Amino acid sequence: MKKVFGLLVFALLSSATYAAGFRVALQSTKQQGMGHIGAGLNVGPSNIFFNPGALALQDKGGIDVGGSAVLASNQYNLPGTTITHDLEDNVGTPVFLYGSFKLNDRLAGGLGVYTPYGNKVEWPEDWTGQFVSELVDLKSFFIQPTLSYQLDEKLGIGAGLIYALGIVTLERGIPAPTPTSNDATLESDGAASGIGFNAGVFYQPTEELSFGFNYRSKVEVDAEDGLVTTSFPANTNPAITSLFQATSFDATLPLPTEMALGAGWQVSDKLLLAADLNYIVWSQYEELVFNYNGDFGGPGVTTTVIPQNWEDAWTIKLGGQYAANEKLDLRLGGYLDYTPIPDFTLASITPDADRIGITGGATYKVSDNLDVDGALLYLKGDERTVLASENIANFGQRYDITVLAPSLGFGYSFN
């Protein structure tokens, strides 16, 4: 019997194939075109995400809306064998919506809805890692009402309250002495929520230079009474089914603190260069604990503890924007994104490696009020090998990760 089950929680675990850990760096089509940089730039409504401190320095409000299609591919090899498996084809669709408005000369308000964490990672049934993970499907939304205040013409501060909502489905196989043809499924679905904040300070000392610092707090997402569904083949021996009596679970997942330091340099009328340095406190993700309302895997076993022991990680981003003419802006960018997951706890639920991202994009100004944005991210993981002897689950893993993410957005500014 094999196959089975999944669990949990919300936000969890998931994985992102598009940024290290399970973070998703696709929060604005415009910024995606230039390496997803924004902490040190005054870019419009999407500053609700990148740095709310800049919002109050904008002279009008607006709306930014869009989304991406994430086409991830990942080929797995069990090191030392000829065995390979390909990630199932999936298209992830992270979306964003930001709206900002001036309350008075110095005060601006806004609302952001975005998806900083999430993904779907589905491996073939009966693949090598089936007892670690077959499917994780994480969807999460952050809803962030925001206020920003202009201290003077050069300095703005801003902060927003984050309300996080998520839902997750996990599935994995359960090892048993039976042949592989006798499958069972145990699936867990959970919804969860948590609270946090996003705050930033933005400083523009001259027309040419800008700096910013943004702090997004940890959000502890709690799932209560998540659903555990067990489905075994008909007439499965009760010696096996009786090991799985739980029908619900509780769990908590930390979405970690993230800090970003950014700068922008308007080199000329046409050329803007920018850089961001991000630091994500992934060490907050020490373990994932599930508490069940009944036996789960054995008599008296009502808790599952999955050690994570992730490590803090950096992302270094560089990008630029060139105004080709009055109607067209072109963008280029790139970043290095370091994995937070140590070899010891690497699992197929978050098949992760250091990554390099290359981006390009453009904005076409349809009118004074309306922009159409397009961008493309190409992301390549550094091929990573973890031997079974180095891993907590004795799970040997080698991954080759590739992601292509086209993005489309619209910007509307109020007069």
Residues at the interface with other proteins (CB under 8 A): 1, 71, 73-84, 86-87, 128-132, 172-173, 175-180, 182, 234-240, 378, 383, 388, 393-396, 398-404
In the complex with other proteins, which residue's Cβ is closer, 187 or 400? 400
Smallest gap from Cβ 229 to other proteins, in A, equals 20
In the complex with other proteins, which residue's Cβ is closer, 289 or 404? 404
Long-range contact set of residues 180-183: C-beta below 8 Å, sequence gap at least 24: 180/2, 180/126, 182/1, 182/2, 182/233, 182/236, 183/1, 183/2, 183/3, 183/4, 183/125, 183/233
Amino acid at 131: F
What region, left, alpha or beta, does residue 134 occupy, with left being phi > 0 and alpha being psi -120 to 50 degrees? alpha
Smallest gap from Cβ 160 to other proteins, in A, equals 35
Smallest gap from Cβ 203 to other proteins, in A, equals 40
Q: Are 168 and 139 in contact (CB under 8 A)?
A: yes
The structure tokens listed for 9 are 């929680």
In the complex with other proteins, which residue's Cβ is closer, 120 or 172? 172
**Phi, psi at 54, each rounded to 5°:** -80, -15
Amino acid at 345: T
In the complex with other proteins, which residue's Cβ is closer, 86 or 225? 86
Distance CA 314, CA 49 (A): 18
Tell me the Cα Rg of the chain.
23
Smallest gap from Cβ 167 to other proteins, in A, equals 24
In the complex with other proteins, which residue's Cβ is closer, 247 or 385? 385
In b/e form, how buried is each residue of 388-407, taking b as 16+ CB within 10 angstroms?
eebbbbebbbbbbbbbebeb
DSSP 23: B
User: In which element (H, E) is residue 30 found?
Assistant: helix 29-32
The structure tokens listed for 331 are 């963008």
Distance CA 42, CA 58 (A): 7
In the complex with other proteins, which residue's Cβ is closer, 234 or 367? 234
In the complex with other proteins, which residue's Cβ is closer, 175 or 205? 175
Smallest gap from Cβ 357 to other proteins, in A, equals 13
Distance CA 118, CA 193 (A): 14
DSSP sequence for 222-267: EEEEEEEEEE--TT--HHHHTTB---EEEEEEEEPPEEEEEEEEE-
In the complex with other proteins, which residue's Cβ is closer, 20 or 280? 20
Smallest gap from Cβ 241 to other proteins, in A, equals 10
In the complex with other proteins, which residue's Cβ is closer, 151 or 332? 332
Smallest gap from Cβ 70 to other proteins, in A, equals 11
Smallest gap from Cβ 363 to other proteins, in A, equals 22
In b/e form, how buried is each residue of 363-372, taking b as 16+ CB within 10 angstroms?
beeeeeeebe
Smallest gap from Cβ 376 to other proteins, in A, equals 9
In the complex with other proteins, which residue's Cβ is closer, 7 or 57? 7
Smallest gap from Cβ 176 to other proteins, in A, equals 7
Encode 295-344 in three state secondary structure.
CECCCCCCEEEEECCCCCEEEEEEEEEEECCCCEEEEEEEEEECCCCCHH
